[in-house]
Structure 1
Amino acid sequence: MTSRNVASHASGKRTPGRDATDIKPPPPVTPAYLERAALHYLERYSASVAMLRQTLKRRVDKRCRLRGEDASAFAEAIEATVARAVSAGLVDDARFTAGRLAALRRRGASARALSAKLAAKGVSREEVAAAMENERERADEGVDLEEAAAQAYAKRRRLGPWRRPGTREGHRDRDLAAMARAGFGYALGRRVIEADLESETDETED
């Protein structure tokens, strides 16, 4: 035990392992640092332009806070880094939106839920509308995408026809409310929740 620690122990006070003045601040924010941060993030995650910008801003805010600097001074550097990522094709809102839309649809997301989730990722309404229009154009003829999503959602949540036999009626109102919260209209939600899978299977077999 050092003499400093002995004195501290004797006085009943705890001494940190290192003084605050001994801790070195992180290196300054530079274009190279921002490039590395952007590449590291995009290698790990699929992102929109807004998500990349927000991630870089958080990193800069943290580093500037530790260095006692004004983070707003690096706003242009962040925008330049984002612009280079877009130009290089590393981040693309149309590609991100199409991929996220397809993934959400597979999980049974309604059009309303899709719009809200994508907006939360910083995707513009125009990009969302374009992606949904492309989805409709690529769908098989006669396929109702919203109804298919509603069925996928009900199946994943085990609502209506996917409940255990004998339990459907008691949960009908609760299931309809779940469909409404998920963004599906009442008529569609009711059609899915009240569907008889056995009858549909029998008709298919006939």
Structure 2
Amino acid sequence: MDEPKGGQGDRAPGARKRPRKVSPRYLENAALHYLKRYAATVSQLKRVLVRKADRSLRVHGGDRAEALGWVDALVEKLLRNGLINDQAYAGLKAQSLRASGRSARVIAQKLRMKGVAAEVVEQKLAEATAEVSEDAAARIWARKKRLGPFRRDAQARQENRQKDLAALARAGFSFSIAKKIIDGAPE
């Protein structure tokens, strides 16, 4: 019988691959690979690298403080070289979320969860709101979710008014904005 492809060898299906021994080179390669695939903040990248280091240390042993020092040094190097930039990440993310109809509350929350500093969140949110207002974002969200004036049936619009208002509230929009969008015309 042939050995399965993918280098699993005698590993059970679904079992995780044994991690490599942590080293500065290993961490740098892991960081570069991650950054090729995903835009990330400093905080996100640190979490990924610390998780990799911890997993490796559990298997191979070693000094966690030393590994964390390597992570910090690598992050500083990547910052100097411009490969990670919280300002740029927050700007792109805020604009993208706003254009897709997200409220200021949701955008701020998502950026804070990614580890972006509060003053950067505030600045980038103001820039995104200058391009697309809160009313326009609520209208985009209502159109995407077919709420209020964007429902196909006028009778269903009246029957579902409270549900539509609640949906916009859950999306982070104020009651006054939700009421204006739900009770307004589709234009």
Corresponding residue number in structure 1 for 2:161: 172
How much has 1:196 moved relative to structure 2? Answer: 1.8
Corresponding residue number in structure 1 for 2:49: 56
How much has 1:103 moved relative to structure 2? Answer: 1.2
Corresponding residue number in structure 1 for 2:145: 157
Q: Please, which of 63, 71, 82 is the counterpart of residue 64 of structure 2?
A: 71
Corresponding residue number in structure 1 for 2:36: 43
TM-score by length of 1: 0.78
How much has 1:66 moved relative to structure 2? Answer: 1.1
How much has 1:134 moved relative to structure 2? Answer: 2.7
The structure that has the greater radius of gyration is 1
Corresponding residue number in structure 2 for 1:187: 176
What is the distance in 1 between the residues matched to 2:128 and 2:163?
A: 31
Q: Which amino acid aligns with 2:32?
A: L
How much has 1:76 moved relative to structure 2? Answer: 1.1
Corresponding residue number in structure 1 for 2:15: none
Kindly report which structure 2 residues correspond to 1:4-43, keeping only aligned pairs within 5 A, or say none. Answer: 26-43=19-36
CA-to-aligned-CA distance 1:24-56 (integer Å, 9 cap, x gap): x75431111111011000000011111111110
For structure 1, the 5+ residue unaligned runs are 1-16, 19-24, 201-206
Q: CA RMSD in A?
A: 1.7
What is the distance in 1 between the residues matched to 2:19 and 2:102?
A: 43
1:120 matched to 2:113? The reply is: yes
The secondary structure found in structure 2 opposite 1:63 is helix
How much has 1:174 moved relative to structure 2? Answer: 0.5
What is the distance in 2 between the residues matched to 1:167 and 1:36?
A: 55
What is the distance in 2 between the residues matched to 1:158 and 1:125?
A: 33
What is the distance in 2 between the residues matched to 1:72 and 1:175?
A: 52
Contact 2:148 2:164 in 1 (8 A): yes
Q: Please, which of 126, 131, 143 is the counterpart of residue 133 of structure 1?
A: 126
CA-to-aligned-CA distance 1:77-134 (integer Å, 9 cap, x gap): 1011111111111010010001111111122110011111111111111111111233
Q: Which amino acid aligns with 2:147?
A: L
Corresponding residue number in structure 2 for 1:21: none
How much has 1:136 moved relative to structure 2? Answer: 4.5
Relative to structure 1, is the Cα distance of residues 66 and 187 closer, same or farther in structure 2, using a 3 angstrom cutoff?
A: same
Relative to structure 1, is the Cα distance of residues 183 and 26 closer, same or farther in structure 2, using a 3 angstrom cutoff?
A: closer
Contact 2:43 2:114 in 1 (8 A): yes
1:111 matched to 2:104? The reply is: yes
TM-score by length of 2: 0.85
Q: Which amino acid aligns with 1:155?
A: R
Give the percent of matched residue pairs that are identical in Structure 1 and Structure 2. Answer: 39
Q: Which amino acid aligns with 1:163?
A: R
